[in-house]
Each structure stands twice: as C-alpha cells, then as structure tokens.
Structure 1
Amino acid sequence: MSKRESENLRAILVQDVGDRLANVFVKKGFSLVPLPAEEAKSELKIVFPLGRLKRMRDDNLDVIEFQFDKYGRPKFVINFGIVPPGGVTLPWGDHLDQNVADVSAISESYRLYSSSLRARWFELGLLSPKNEQAITSLVDKAIVLSNEITNWFECKNVGKHMKRFGLPV
C-alpha cells in the first residue's frame, strides 16, 4: 500500500470512527471535547485527531480516547478510564486536575483491542482489502466490542478484549 493510499484510508477511518463509533458513546452521555490548544499544536493532534470523549458521573470523570497510529497508518485503539474528583498525581509528583488528566495519567486505565488473544490494534489485516468497505467493517467490529467499555464503566468488569495500561500506582 502506498503512502498516499494509507493516508486516504486513515482519513476515511478517522471520519468513520468520529461519525459512528464516537456517536455510540455520545448517546450514553459523553461529549466530544477537542484537544486543548497546546496539545492541538503537538504530535497529539495526529494521535488524537478527534480529541477526547468525556462524561461526568457523580463526581468522577469518565474519559475515552480514540488513539490513532502516530505514523499515519490506518489503525487505532481505544483507551479509557475514570479520573477521580481530585485529579491525579503522577509518580514524579506533578498533579493534574480532573479536567486536564488524560487516560495515560490514570493509574487504572484500560485499552480495548481488536483481539482477545493479543494486544492488536483495530487495523486492516495483511490479506484484507484496502478499501472503504474494509474500514467500515473494522469500525463495525469496534462498535460491537465497545460494549465491553460500557460494561466496565457500569460494573468494572474487565472484558476479554481489554488490557490494563497507564502509570503505576
């Protein structure tokens, strides 16, 4: 696949994730929040082109991020976690307020992968067609698996496509 084809498929993927997958969570009370100005000027704009989904629940802030490949390939993973009311203190002592913390700063954060056996991002397989229909199927799979995220926020059940990540406590 040429660089131009890869960039085109990535653009289609970002659009479809934004239109359909993000909407699954918007219907559950999340709001799509653009990256802060400082982050939007950095590499994070490539990695998180849609910003973050956030939802206040009681005093906690639920956060979901669609993380795309930093090299522009058409693939992504879903990060999520809960920021407590007081925010988070990083291992080296810096403190992030609740509204500033991203998922990687949360000690109990997770990633949703496309495979239950290996930590595989949602991406087109080597033998799969490289077209818009394949992208649609990829996002369809993520929509189905997004129920594991919903279940985790509601019951703290860790689904079989989820792996813990983030900073240690």
Structure 2
Amino acid sequence: MSQALREQLKARLQPLLESRGFIADHPQSALFWTYRRLSGDQSHILEVQWDKYQRPRFIINYGTCPASGLQLPDGLHPAASVAAHWTQDAGRLQDGTTAGEHWFRQNRPWWRRLLGKPAQVDAQEPVQRLMACLGEVEIYWQSGLLGPHMWPLAKHRQRS
C-alpha cells in the first residue's frame, strides 16, 4: 500500500470535506475512512474504501439515510453507525465513466505495464482525478441527478 497516496488523499480530501460540513468518524479503519454530515433531516455518508489487498487504490462510496437513523430488519441503526452501502441510494464515485474503470489507482493496470509504462504514477494523480469529479456527489445530494462518474449500487436505481 502506498503511504504517499494515503497522505496525499488525506491532505486534499479531509480539509475540503470539513469545509463542506463533513465530520470524520474516529477512529478510521484501515479499509474505510467515513465522513458524515447532517443536512436537514438527512445524513450524507461519504466513504473512502481502500483496496483490501493493500494495492495503492481507492474508491468512493456514498449514501443518504434519515438523520433519525436507518430502519433495517434487525432494528433501528443510528445515522452515526450506518455504512454507505446499507442505504437505499448507495452508490460509488469511480475514476472512469464506464463500468470497467472503478478504482482511483496509483498502480497502473498490468496491460499498461506490459506496454512499457512505469508500474506506478505519482500519488497526486489519482487524488487530482478524484477532486475533478467529487462535485458530482454534491450535485446528486442537491438535485438527485447522477453524474457520469457515479454508479448506483441499489438494483432499483437506474442511470439516466
């Protein structure tokens, strides 16, 4: 896992999210960094999900739940404990705009390495790509419109 990528992402993403009213969950886990904010009667959840095999890559999960908590078959869960993928509008913000381009990655795909490209890009590059499309999630929370880098996880939601 690239410590440089984690440091770059934390240095750029956390201050931006805090300026938009998000609060980081503490402690953060090794695989998920979760940020939440209250917006009226809703709680917005944004998670950075790191690769479980410790490759230098991440993806962004998002979701919305009632500020009063989320009712699931096993009971009411407080909004502060809800994971983004539990929500009805769960989705992902991905690096690309097609189904095969998921992760914001520092390591290059194997086929690019076969073509003679370096194994990794600078840690700033995937972070810059995230920053370029992060506003799509804010637009979604304001209007309900999915951006080109957003992929709904719930089966009942369709891309327009």
After the TM superposition, list the runs of 4 or more consecutive aligned residues in structure 1 that deviate by more than 4 angstroms.
166-169
Q: Which amino acid aligns with 1:139?
A: V
Q: Normalising by structure 1, report the TM-score.
A: 0.78
The 1:78–1:84 alpha-carbon spacing in structure 2 relative to 1, beyond 3 Å, is same
State the match for 2:16 in structure 1. Answer: 24
Helix, strand or coil: the match of 1:99?
Answer: helix
Deviation at residue 87 of structure 1 after TM alignment: 1.6
Contact 2:41 2:68 (8 Å CA) reproduced: no
* Of 21, 26, 37, the match for 1:34: 26
1: distance between equivalents of 2:118 and 2:26? 32
Q: Equivalent residues in 2 for 1:36-115 (5 A)?
A: 45-48=29-32, 51-90=33-72, 92-115=73-96
2: distance between equivalents of 1:52 and 1:109? 14
Helix, strand or coil: the match of 1:82?
Answer: strand
1: distance between equivalents of 2:78 and 2:87? 11
**Which whole-Å deviations, capped at 9, do the CAs of 1:81-139 have from their partners, x for residues lacking one?**
1111332233x4343122211111111111000010125111132335345x6210110
- Report the identity percentage: 21
2: distance between equivalents of 1:24 and 1:157? 22
Deviates more, 1:119-128 or 1:145-154: 119-128
* Of 91, 99, 108, the match for 1:125: 108
2: distance between equivalents of 1:97 and 1:166? 21
Contiguous gaps of at least 5 residues in structure 2:
none
Higher-RCO chain (CA-CA 8 Å, sequence separation at least 6):
1
Deviation at residue 31 of structure 1 after TM alignment: 1.6
2: distance between equivalents of 1:68 and 1:167? 24
Contiguous gaps of at least 5 residues in structure 1:
1-6
Q: Which amino acid aligns with 2:131?
A: I
2: distance between equivalents of 1:68 and 1:100? 19
Contact 1:52 1:65 (8 Å CA) reproduced: yes
1: distance between equivalents of 2:34 and 2:137? 15
Deviates more, 1:25-34 or 1:76-85: 25-34
Contact 1:24 1:143 (8 Å CA) reproduced: no
1: distance between equivalents of 2:156 and 2:65? 15
Of Structure 1 and Structure 2, the greater helix share is in: 1
Q: Normalising by structure 2, report the TM-score.
A: 0.82
